Amino acid sequence: MKTMRFFETGDPSVLTLDDIETPTPAAGQVLLRVAGAGVNPADNGIRFGRLPIPITLPHTPGYDVSGIVISVGDGVADVAVGDEVVGFLPMTDDGAAAEYVIAPAEALVSAPTSIALADAAGLPSVALTAWQALFEYADLHAGQRIVITGAGGVVGLHAVRLAKRAGAHVIATATGRSRAAVADAGADQVIDHTTTSAASVVDEPVDVVLNLAPISAEEFVALAARVRDGGVVVSTTAWMATPSDEARGVRGVTVFVRSDRDQLAELVRLVDSGELRVDIAERIPLAALPEVHARLEAGQVHGKIVVTPTA
């Protein structure tokens, strides 16, 4: 089978397209024929060795997957050969930038039926990040006010839709390029963060700040000051501290997304009900992945990209 992998960490040039033997699933595992492999910013950090994720070299990137079950290992009872599935693979294991991939059965759920199977690979980790940030870490519920920074990104658009579905009042920051998409997702107020400090225009206390963008430490602290006593500041930007205020009971929490089968199944249901969308900016062949990693490195990827290895 064809796979894109790297034998040493480094810039995108370390990625090579190889032919290797198709693996066999062990107990609790399945073999998938990959329909789609999601591309995420963390792929760039893992390849460069900047993230503290203990991979084994050579390593194949792509921890979001959609595909068809080809064979199953011992003890697998809840997925079967021929099933169309989607999942968030362990980031330490070989990923889905290949024609076939081994996946733990416990990470997989039935794929959405309302979208193309390849496109379903654009859902798992980003939607799980939004869900866990909002409902596990922030305990968001109806009637609350939330600021979402970086709402125009892939995680941000899911967060806006999920927060509005939960009945929250959503104040979002975005660029002029993504402003319309954020408003369409349901934001009650959209602030162009390239021209305006969100902290300067949020004039009423909020219950939650969800940071999804590399904002300055000063802006982050100023936003945290707008959180009511007992509220919460949640962030996905692990490289910078999440501010808190113990005197006021304001918690600061950094999100580290994890696979959760029940949550992913619910997110799939929301896609099929039309309450969530999976917007794919580009579908690329396997051979084009190094070029996409170079664009990731340069900050030139906007929207979700899916690799289609067998297209």
Do 174 and 153 contact (CB within 8 A), yes or no? no
pLDDT for 126 beyond 90? yes
**Domain 126-254, architecture per CATH:** Alpha-Beta Complex (3.90)
Domain ranges of the chain: 2-123+278-307, 126-254
Mean pLDDT for the stretch of residues 65-92: 97
pLDDT on residue 292: 96
pLDDT on residue 311: 61
Name which residue leads in pLDDT, 148 or 198: 148
**DSSP letter, residue 166:** T
Return the axis-axis angle of helices 289-297 and 41-48, rounded to nearest 10°: 90
Start-to-end C-alpha separation, the chain: 14
pLDDT tens digit sequence for 290-302:
999 999 988 898 8
Mean pLDDT for the stretch of residues 137-144: 97
pLDDT for 220 beyond 70? yes
**Mean pLDDT of the residues in the chain:** 95
**What would the two tokens of residue 52 be?**
């503290």
CATH 3.90.180.10 assigned to 2-123+278-307 = yes
Same fold, 2-123+278-307 and 126-254: yes
Q: Read off the amino acid at residue 263.
A: Q
> With 0-12 CB in 10 A as exposed, 13-18 as middle and 19+ as buried, what is 285?
exposed
